[in-house]
């Protein structure tokens, strides 16, 4: 009987993990589509991204309900509670990630003029590629409970932050040089920030994977704001 | 025995609600301090806001642990699960609200020049005041399970969105008129967006309060993006 209960619980956990991975796949698709819509000024695709966000919200609610029902039904031990609490946290980060992809798509719909700076688009594409790989890797680390990969993701977030910083400065320079670029650049400031925050959520997930496996938070200080340095400050905004 | 268990569970729920309200108070304080720091360019206060965010993160984790432990211990019925699931959601929104206040404080630390546009500051202050009242009201609605107040908050979010829209346009105009204002205005674009998103989280909480009390989502369509209107689009970014 106990064995039977154990097996039922394991299958609950597997179901939960599967849903998380499905949700992650939805996010990856949304990021790809949002960036493609941005680069090609494809408003049809942008609208599809905006509409598809509802699916991700639903996935998150389902995971939440599922996780809570599992706890109530199985009264798991501490170690298993950690697993379920982790799934809840990850689903929140994935839901936020979906929102950020949606925000990028919404910016596409706001761009009224054809004005564009190719160099800026290239930088955004590069940032998005990095963020996408981070998310992909961290989902892999969750699927395989691979702490080494999770820590790699965790440490690598600074690269995206650095790109966001340099793009912030470049955008200001473009705006100062050419007032006609200002509206475009203002929207791109937000797009860059959205991508940078997708990276932050991948980092959050990396921390959760570490916590699920190790039972305690990452012992190192998260690479984050140093209050004495304005340069590093910006990275965590 | 059943009665005893019931009472223990009720006291668990009360404890959870109390923690949520405490966390909300921390957020209100952080919003006040962040805006004061911004208006006075008070870097000491800004640093304090950044440091205090850790407390809010801790409050959120405690609520999460507490909620999950309560579910595992008491195996509540559906109606009570809703209450606990709601507390989890609200604590997420309050945690994000704290991050947004922290982001405003971080911007204060990034402003290197003394350049300022008083009119912009006044608008930001007005927006922050509205967002603060929304958060206060929605916490009140949670405390008293007051659906009418929750719906009022839910409907009123558009006012903050409208202010954010008009400030967005004004900031672009300032930048076009005076290149020296560009760095300042770029930071203020983000501050305005942070405040607008605090309003969004108050709206999320209003939806959760409605759900806790009524057992189903708000039946009306949330005042949100109309894909045919660029104007309204911007409001939900």
Q: What is the 3-state secondary structure (H, E, C) of B148-217?
A: HHHHHHHHHHHHHHHHHHHHHHHHHHHHHHCHHHHHHHHHHHHHHHHHHHHHHHHHHHHHHHHHHHHCCC
Cα distance between residue A49 and residue A104, in whole Å: 9
| pLDDT value for B178 | 97
Residue ranges of domains in chain A = 2-236
| pLDDT value for A112 | 83
pLDDT category at A79 given cuts 50, 70, 90 is: confident
| pLDDT value for A230 | 41
- Residues in chain B with CB shorter than 8 Å from the CB of A48 are none
Cα distance between residue B67 and residue B51, in whole Å: 26
One DSSP character per residue, chain A reads: -HHHHHHHHHHHHHHHHHHHHHHHHHHHHHHHHHHHHHHHT-HHHHHHHHHHHHHHHHHHHHHHHHHHHHHHHH---HHHHHHHHHHHHHHHHHHHHHHHHHHHHHHHHH--S----HHHHHHHHHHHHHHHHHHHHHHHHHHTT-HHHHHHHHHHHHHHHHHHHHHHHHHHHHHHH-GGGHHHHHHHHHHHHHHHHHHHHHHHHHHHHHHHHHSS--SSPPS---TT-HHHHHHT-
Q: Convert the pLDDT of each residue in B101-126 to its tens digit.
A: 999 999 999 998 889 999 999 999 99
Of chain B, the percentage scoring pLDDT greater than 90 comes to 81
Query: Inter-chain contact A71–B68, Cβ cutoff 8 Å?
Result: yes
pLDDT category at A32 given cuts 50, 70, 90 is: very high
What ipTM does the predicted assembly reach? 0.90
Tell which of A49, A57, A65, A71 to mutate to test the B interface (max B CBs under 10 Å). Answer: A71
pLDDT at B28 over 90: yes
Q: Does A76 touch chain B (CB under 8 A)?
A: yes
Of chain A, the percentage scoring pLDDT greater than 90 comes to 81
From the CA of A152, how many Å to the nearest CA of chain B?
24
| pLDDT value for A3 | 56
Residues 51-70 of chain A with CB under 8 A from chain B are 64-65, 68-69
Higher-scoring residue by pLDDT: A226, B122: B122
For range B215-223, the mean pLDDT: 82
| pLDDT value for B220 | 79
The domain A2-236 is placed in CATH, from the list 1.10.1060.10, 1.20.58.220, 3.40.50.970, 1.10.760.10, at: 1.20.58.220
Nearest to A85 among B68, B107, B190 (CB): B68
pLDDT category at B224 given cuts 50, 70, 90 is: low
pLDDT at B150 over 50: yes
């Amino acid at each position: 009987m106990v064995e039977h209960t154990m097996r039922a619980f394991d299958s609950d956990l597997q179901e939960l993990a599967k849903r998380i991975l499905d949700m992650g796949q939805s996010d990856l698709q949304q990021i790809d589509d949002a960036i493609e819509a941005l680069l090609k000024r494809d408003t049809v695709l942008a609208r599809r991204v905006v509409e598809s966000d509802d699916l991700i919200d639903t996935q998150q609610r389902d995971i939440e309900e599922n996780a809570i029902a599992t706890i109530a039904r199985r009264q798991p031990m501490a170690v298993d509670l950690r697993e379920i609490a982790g799934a809840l946290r990850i689903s929140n980060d994935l839901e936020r990630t979906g929102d950020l992809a949606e925000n990028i798509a919404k910016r596409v719909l706001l761009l009224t003029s054809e004005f564009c700076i190719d160099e800026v688009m290239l930088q955004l594409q590069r940032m998005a590629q990095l963020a996408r790989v981070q998310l992909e890797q961290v989902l892999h680390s969750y699927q395989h409970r691979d702490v080494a990969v999770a820590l790699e993701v965790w440490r690598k977030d600074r690269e995206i932050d650095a790109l966001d910083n340099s793009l912030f400065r470049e955008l200001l320079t473009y705006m100062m040089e050419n007032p006609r670029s200002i509206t475009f650049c203002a929207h791109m400031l937000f797009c860059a920030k959205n991508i940078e925050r997708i990276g932050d959520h991948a980092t959050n997930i990396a921390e959760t994977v570490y916590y699920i496996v190790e039972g305690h938070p990452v012992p190192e200080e998260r690479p984050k704001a140093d209050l004495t340095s304005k340069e590093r400050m910006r990275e965590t905004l």
